[in-house]
Chains A and B, each alone.
Chain A
Amino acid sequence: MIAFWATAGVLSAAAALLVLMRAARAATLAEPADPMPVLYRRQLAEIGELADRGLLGAAERKSAEAEAARRLLDAADRPSEVWSAASPRGVILLGAVSVPAALALLLYLGLGAPGMADQPFEARLTHWRAVSPTELSPPQMAAVLQRLTRERPDDPEGYRFLALAEGASDNPAGAARALRQAVRLAPDRAELWEMLGEALMLQAGGQMTADARAAFNQDLKLDPKSAAARFYLAQGQIAAGDRAGGLAAWRALEADLPPDDPRLPRLRRAIAEAAAQPAPAAGPALSADQLTAIRGMVAGLAARLRVKPDDPDGWVRLVRAYAVLGETAKREATLKDARVRYAGRPDILDQLSQAARTEPMR
């Protein structure tokens, strides 16, 4: 705190000194010389050069020179001001530097956080590593584990813990990234593949993706009994339109699970829901918050395309987004615009039509 205020004082003093030194020097400086003669001489030289190049006849040269001379005389005739080099009273100069310094102090006290220490990441990390893990929040834990995995890059267990911490911090992308390292180091651990599959699905907002499916398949290959893998793969099957196949896989899983398995009620609920669903079910329903967020992103995309319309991918995404949201009118309007814009691009037109056919979600 003292060091801070001392340094701040030194800074203010340095600024004040700069002002005073400059003022003190001014009294000894002569008035800058009149630049007009120099300009005049230079203009004469340029006139000569033009004449030399044959761009100016003799008569023009004369009149140009006369004009330059007239301007020189004009400038010389103008009355020049007399400035005083006398030093103003000391009070004024003192005020000139102390008032700003005081103002700076007031401004800073109003806007700054006096004495607040820097908090560089390294120092905070060192502190988190020193305290007991139970006192850390999941993101802090993840930061510590991140560093640990960097120090021990060959330990799959480190990555697994990192993935758990990232998952608890609502960062499925970070979890998936850690798990990808983990399965690279320990490719025969089924539960790591299962975690990876789940993380990838979370990252995709609950949707089954090709990468997630590959992870679950790997999990099943290593552990044919893996309930999670069987559950999600079947869910993916249903989402992709194969309701009968998915339901059959779920029923088989239901039969294989021991009767006291805690996952059974959830599975049975899923089976009941899927069986009652008339249309092919998409992924899990989105919450109102998620929907609002998605609508916001779509509006942002639409706005961006208005400004930068030359973005075929963007148009395809926008059409697909309206289709998914079930906003048919907007979908059609956007589709029409985009079709006109890319009339000469069959590849884009194909993608647009495909996007427009996307099923709306529930």
Chain B
Amino acid sequence: MIAELGAFALALALAFALAQLVLSAAGRIRRSTVLAAAGEGAALAVFGAVALAFAALIHAFVTSDFSVANVAANSHTEKPLLYKVAGAWGSHEGSMLLWCLALTGYGAAAVAFGRSLPRPLKASMVAVQGALATVFLAYTLFASNPLARVADPPVEGRSLNPLLQDPALAIHPPFLYAGYVGMSVVFALAVAALIEGRIDAAWARWVRPWTLAAWSLLTVGITLGSFWAYYELGWGGWWFWDPVENASFMPWLAATALLHSAIVTEKRGALAGWTLFLALAAFSFSMLGAFLVRSGVLTSVHAFAVDPTRGVLLLIILGVTSGAGFALFAWRAPKLAQGGVFAPVSRESALVLNNILLAAATTTVLLGTLYPLIREAVTGEPISVGPPYFNLTFTPLMAALAILLPAGPLLAWKRGDAAGVLQRLWVAILIALAAGLLAYALVSPRKAFGAAGLAMGTWIIAGGIAELIERTRGFRVAPAESLRRLVRLPRGAWGMTLAHLGLGVFVLGACFETGWKAERAETLPLGGALDVGGYHLVLDAVSDVDGPNYEAERATIRATRDGAPICVGQPERRFYPAGGQTTSEVAICYRGASHLYIVLGERRETATTPVWLVRAYWNPWATLIFLGPVIMGLGGLISLSDRRLRLGVARRRELPA
């Protein structure tokens, strides 16, 4: 009965999403607060209903109810409980429901937290969200029903792709979807602003918290995914420029640009059209990502095996929703009021430059992702656009961005003082140059790229700290006074500084790891050894392990450095009989911020003894790659908690002043 109630709740959600659209639109047109409020009530009801359907799906997974087709296809009685729960979104249908849960959750949150929005704007926004919810719920219900039943259930489920059977499955997709779909609020606000024909500082202020929330969650979600790929796939890498990774990266880049351009719109009333464009683009990229992974055009761990019909339907949804948004933009944006003017050297110009670079970066990623797909579709000839393309196009853009970044926050609005900024940053410039030169001179093998990256990361971090010192008047007033200023710094400022520092930390890790990683692969008999990055690894033993739903070979590999024991790694090679697949469990020895990364490969029989392929990587400073974005996400959340962002709450506090 629970599964059927879930299915009913899903139908209820779709019907009330339609009601949300109609009531809010009618409320807007007839200027009726009551009808508009009824639309808001429908938005809350839709979320409640989707949440019930989602709970029903999880229940079916936990109880291994194979009469639900999706459970039979993606679960197994022997699967550990965590993966039964998380398996609810490990498939196409289930993750579509998670998408809808996030979409309607944001819709309900926008209703609940949007008390300070003017009535017309809010009604239009809720109507747009109703339209989005209707489209996606209809797609889920008609083309990907996660609660569809089978009359004759199989005895045992087909189990979940073992690559996905990892605790990260429990957190990576929810974060990612919360990020992706969070852009829907921004999209709805943008369409509503275009309908109203009005965009002003207040609009930019309302967009900001939603962008911040979605951006922070997306940052953490992408990082979790990157870390997951890093330790699960056993390829020793953290970013492969895989189309699916790019699909999550494009909305992130667009949202990053949006965060910055919205500041200009808020503070100076300028860039209004561009900010709107980015707001539309961010969610469009989210939907593009959803299309790419669900259409079958890609082969990847992320790609759900789905039939092309579903892909075509998603393409239609993408075309209609973002097409409508951009058509409205083309029609209404030229009529928007122009904002204030600014000099070439100014905070505005710095932010415009930031946006140009980010937009160019997004475009290179978009081209690198779509061109091979389109070419293969047209000519039937597959080509691979791999890291070389992105290194040549994306990396220089990011380098330019990194070089300019510390100057931006030190520039004044309208007209800045370049000499003054240089004067404030000279210590940071010296530190960065010294760090780069030292790395070039001291670290062997000598790598110009790594040293340049080190200088750049140091520059961003030192520049961020210089800005913090500048804000607190460090070294110019008494330390106590500086400390007082530091404590009273608004959270928005802290958030910005942390996000920039996080980027610096990431650049340090990424460049250091890419520049100086070492890799060795050898077939070892028991007692055999290999050397990597100054470490001596000995294959001590290989034992059989009987896991809950897999069998594995577990190697015990002892690492020493100059004879001193460092750690014992136990990589595994697992076989999942239910799906007949093999995965590898990497062993990582954490050495400070660096990783000794060990993979156990296939066993081979030789004439005398079995041998194992053992691959080992020395990934220096790899932790920073994942730590940096986490700091960035944290910065976003801290900024989000700034009371000044919330107009409704802040007003009560500020009015008595």
Partner of B34 from the list A7, A26, A111 (CB cut-off 8 Å) is A26
Q: Which residues of B contact A108 (CB under 8 A)?
A: 7-8, 11-12
Interchain CA distance A86-B117 in the complex, whole Å: 20
B5 & A308 in contact (Cβ 8 Å cutoff) = no
A135 partner residues in chain B, CB cutoff 8 A: none
Nearest B residue to A1 by beta-carbon distance?
B1
Q: Does A152 contact B (CB under 8 A)?
A: no
B34 near A139 (CB under 8 angstroms)?
no
Q: Does A266 contact B (CB under 8 A)?
A: no
Known: A114-B4, A307-B384. A11 touches B12 (CB 8 A): yes
> Which residues on the B side are within 8 Å of A171 (C-beta)?
577
Question: Which of A55, A63, A121 sits near B65, CB closer than 8 Å?
Answer: A121
* Most-contacted residue by chain A among B16, B337, B470 (CB, 10 A): B16
B201 interfacial by beta-carbon distance below 8 Å: yes
**Bound-state Cα–Cα, A97 to B141, Å:** 21
Question: Do residues A11 and B44 form an inter-chain contact, with CB atoms below 8 A?
Answer: no
Other-chain residue from A11, A60, A121, A303 in contact with B412 (beta carbon distance below 8 A): A60
In this assembly, does B391 line the interface, its C-beta being within 8 Å of a C-beta of chain A? no
Chain B residues with CB below 8 A from A54, complex form: 420
For A307, list chain B residues within 8 Å (CB). 242-243, 298-300, 384
B37–A23 contact, CB under 8 A? Answer: yes
Q: Check B33 against A29 for contact (C-beta < 8 Å).
A: yes
Contacts of A3 in B (CB 8 A): 1
**Contact status B49-A86, CB under 8 Å:** no
CB–CB A306/B382 < 8 A: yes
Give Cα A87–Cα B300 distance, bound, in whole angstroms.
Answer: 54
B412 contacts A107, C-beta separation under 8 Å: no
Is A19's CB under 8 angstroms from B601's CB? no
**CB distance B11 to A112 under 8 Å?**
yes
Tally the A-B contacts, defined by beta carbons under 8 Å: 277
Question: Using an 8 Å CB-CB cutoff, how does the interface string of B642-657 with A read, 1 for contact, 0 for none?
Answer: 0010011011001101
Residue in chain B with minimal CB distance to A107: B11
Known contacts A55-B412, A103-B15; A310/B240 CB under 8 A: yes
Give the interface size bracket for B toward A: 35 or more
Chain B CB count within 10 A is highest, among A39, A87, A117, for A39
A15-B12, A64-B414 as given contacts; A308 in contact with B32, CB under 8 Å? no
Q: Which residues of B contact A99 (CB under 8 A)?
A: 19
The answer to whether the Cβ of A41 comes within 8 Å of any Cβ in the partner chain is yes
Specify the chain A residue showing the minimal Cβ separation from B303.
A307
Asked whether any CB of chain B lies closer than 8 Å to the CB of A116, the reply is: yes
Chain A window 1-30, contacts with chain B (Cβ cutoff 8 Å), 1 for yes, 0 for no? 001100110011011101111110111010
Asked whether A121 lies within 8 Å of B38 as measured between CB atoms, the reply is no
Query: Which residues of A sit under 8 angstroms from B410, Cβ to Cβ?
Result: 55
Please report the C-alpha to C-alpha distance between residue A137 and residue B153 in the assembled complex, in whole angstroms: 13
Chain A residues contacting B15 (CB-CB under 8 Å) are 100-101, 103-104, 107
Minimum C-beta distance from A325 to chain B (A)? 19
A105 to B11, CA, bound (A): 7
Q: A202 to nearest B CB, angstroms?
A: 12
Instruction: Name the B residues within 8 Å of A101 (CB-CB).
Output: 12, 15
* Among B19, B44, B414, contact of A96 (Cβ-Cβ < 8 Å): B19
B118 CB-CB contact with A under 8 Å: yes
Q: Does A248 contact B (CB under 8 A)?
A: no
B558, CB-defined interface residue at 8 Å: no
Assuming the contacts A71-B201, A114-B4, asked whether A64 and B413 have C-beta atoms less than 8 A apart, the reply is: yes
Complex alpha-carbon distance, A27 and B34, angstroms: 6
Interface of A is mostly: helix
Contact with A along B91-119 (1 / 0, CB 8 A): 00000000000000000000000011111
Assess the A121–B66 pair: CB atoms within 8 A.
Answer: yes
Chain A residues with Cβ below 8 Å from B49 are 11, 15
Asked whether A313 lies within 8 Å of B602 as measured between CB atoms, the reply is yes
Q: Does A294 make an interface contact (CB < 8 A)?
A: no
For B4, list chain A residues within 8 Å (CB). Answer: 4, 112-116
For A12, list chain B residues within 8 Å (CB).
Answer: 12
Residue of A55, A143, A210, A306 contacting most chain B CB atoms (<10 Å): A55
The distance in angstroms between the C-alpha atoms of A221 and B274, with both chains bound, is 80
**Taking the complex as formed, is B356 at the interface, i.e. its CB lies under 8 A from any CB of chain A?**
no
Chain B residues within 8 Å of A87, by CB: 34
Q: Are B38 and A20 in contact (CB under 8 A)?
A: yes
- A11 contact set on B, CB distance < 8 A: 5, 8-9, 12, 49, 52
Q: B154 in the interface, Cβ–Cβ < 8 Å?
A: yes
- Which of B34, B266, B420, B650: most chain A Cβ within 10 A? B34
CB distance from B207 to the nearest CB of A (A): 13
CB distance from B80 to the nearest CB of A (A): 15
Contact check, A8 vs B577: say whether CB atoms are below 8 A apart. no
Q: Looking at the complex, which of A76-84, A249-257, A282-290 is the stretch in contact with chain B? A: A76-84
B267 and chain A: residue at smallest CB distance: A43
B42 touching A100 by the CB < 8 A rule? yes
Residues of A within 8 A of B156 (CB): 139, 143
In contact, A308 and B44 (Cβ under 8 angstroms): no
Known contacts A50-B413, A56-B413, A139-B154; 17 additional CB pairs below 8 A are A4-B5, A11-B12, A16-B45, A35-B647, A38-B651, A43-B267, A55-B416, A55-B417, A88-B35, A100-B16, A100-B42, A105-B11, A111-B148, A121-B65, A137-B155, A308-B300, A347-B523
- Interfacial residues, chain A to chain B (CB-CB below 8 A): 3-4, 7-8, 11-12, 14-16, 18-23, 25-27, 29, 31-33, 35-36, 38-39, 41-43, 46-47, 50, 53-56, 60, 63-64, 67, 71, 74-75, 78, 80-88, 92-93, 96-97, 99-101, 103-105, 107-108, 111-122, 124, 137, 139-140, 142-143, 171, 173-174, 177, 210, 300, 303-304, 306-313, 345, 347-348
**Residue contacts A-B, CB under 8 angstroms, 9 given:** A12-B12, A22-B37, A23-B34, A23-B38, A36-B201, A50-B412, A100-B15, A120-B63, A310-B237
Which 7 pairs show the lowest CB-CB distances between chains A and B?
Answer: A22-B41, A26-B37, A173-B577, A120-B63, A121-B64, A15-B45, A19-B41
